[in-house]
Structure 1
Amino acid sequence: MRTRTIRPVIAAALGAGALATVLVATPAQATEYPSNLKIAGVQYDAPGRDSNSCTTGNTKAEFVTIKNFSRTARMNLKGYVVKDAVGNSYTFRLNHYLEPGDHVKLRGGRGTESDAGNVAYRNNCNFIWNNDRDTIKLIKPGGAAADTHAYTKAANDRDGNGFITFHS
């Protein structure tokens, strides 16, 4: 998440001795949350023509990747929530362990939530991520933010392939 801060600077007006308040914008700053689990990337625009059909659609090709960036800690996704800007959400209901450096792709479509193949399915064939802009939130079981990223196609997807990387 990026925040922009504005700091007041008080300067003496030359020759008049009066004080003037000037607002100076500082560069955008990233806010980092204390979490080993981060949103590593998103395939927000599934390849092909968008279709919500569970049998012939391409919602399985839309996904968000969550990665364990810890060097030593094994992390359990149980209770973590992934949300978009308007509140569509998915909660990991089962134990889903990520070893250090491991990741899971949370996909649309039907399937299981298991450790097999580093994939979990939302069991919903509707798209969740907007193709022009959205916000992805990863929320810890207690409700605290683990990671948040807002994107726009124009600003963040320079090659236009529908995929954006957030953390390397």
Structure 2
Amino acid sequence: MQIRPTLAATSALSVSALAAAALLTAAPAHAGTEYSSALKVRGVQYDAPGRDDNRCSGGNTSKEYVTVKNYSRTATVNLKGYVVKDKTGNRFTFTKSHTLEPGDYVRLRGGKGTDSDAKNVVYRNNCNFMWNNDKDTIYLYKPSGAHADTHAYTKSGNDRDGNGYIGFHN
């Protein structure tokens, strides 16, 4: 049985309600699962420029990063306790306080370095690559364990220019 709305039922809906319904059903180009969270994955440099070399001294793991952005217009968010994880279970937990003002972001880089709120960078202090160069899934969890954001990518499907970077929530 197919149910069709009648003209009277349709006209009862306001234009703004129809617009809101359309927005709810629209999906971004790199659709991930949408969760209610101010923090979202802005993008990932999943393939570090150059030949992959995970040596702590002279390697290029610090050129691989994920950017987490505070998309709230009003809320300041502390990253302490947030977790970034990949599909195979590699994970990083923000153990220190890093405050993101509305619109601010942080790049979580591989390798070793000095965290800097002024430079918007946190290092994993691990010289192994976290993101696969062909495909992977990025998970962002709130300190409570609830999902904040998730994005799956494939090199062939999402990296149109082949530069090793994919943006989300642009």
TM-score range for the pair, normalised by the shorter chain length: 0.7 to 0.9
Report % sequence identity: 69
1:95-134 counterparts in 2 under 5 A? 95-134=97-136
Which protein has the bigger strand share?
1
1:55-107 deviation digits (Å, cap 9, x = unpaired): 11000000000000000111100000000000000000011000000000000
Query: 2:10 maps to what in 1?
Result: none
CA RMSD after TM alignment: 1.7
Query: 2:89 maps to what in 1?
Result: 87
Query: 2:169 maps to what in 1?
Result: 167
Displacement of 1:32: 1.2
Q: Normalization by structure 2: what TM-score? A: 0.81
Query: 1:36 maps to what in 2?
Result: 38
What amino acid sits opposite 1:103 in the alignment?
Y
Query: 1:51 maps to what in 2?
Result: 53
Which protein has the bigger helix share?
2
1:9-66 deviation digits (Å, cap 9, x = unpaired): 88xxxxxxxxxxxxxxxx9875310000000000000000000011110000000000
Count of residues in Structure 1 that have an aligned counterpart in Structure 2:
144
CA contact (8 A) 2:33 2:149 kept: no
Query: 2:147 maps to what in 1?
Result: 145
Q: What CA distance in whole angstroms lies between the structure 2 residues aligned with 1:130 and 1:31?
A: 20
CA contact (8 A) 2:86 2:131 kept: yes
What amino acid sits opposite 1:90 in the alignment?
F
Q: Choose between structure 1 and 2 for higher RCO, CA contacts under 8 A separated by at least 6 residues.
A: 2
User: Which ranges in structure 2 are unaligned for 5 or more consecutive residues?
Assistant: 3-25
1:131-165 deviation digits (Å, cap 9, x = unpaired): 00000000000110000000000000010000000
Q: What CA distance in whole angstroms lies between the structure 1 residues aligned with 2:44 and 2:33?
A: 19
Query: 1:19 maps to what in 2?
Result: none
User: Which ranges in structure 1 are unaligned for 5 or more consecutive residues?
Assistant: 1-8, 11-26
1:54-73 counterparts in 2 under 5 A? 54-73=56-75
Q: What CA distance in whole angstroms lies between the structure 2 residues aligned with 1:94 and 1:40?
A: 21
Displacement of 1:112: 3.1
Query: 4+ residue runs of structure 1 moved beyond 4 angstroms?
Result: 27-30
Q: What CA distance in whole angstroms lies between the structure 2 residues aligned with 1:31 and 1:88?
A: 20
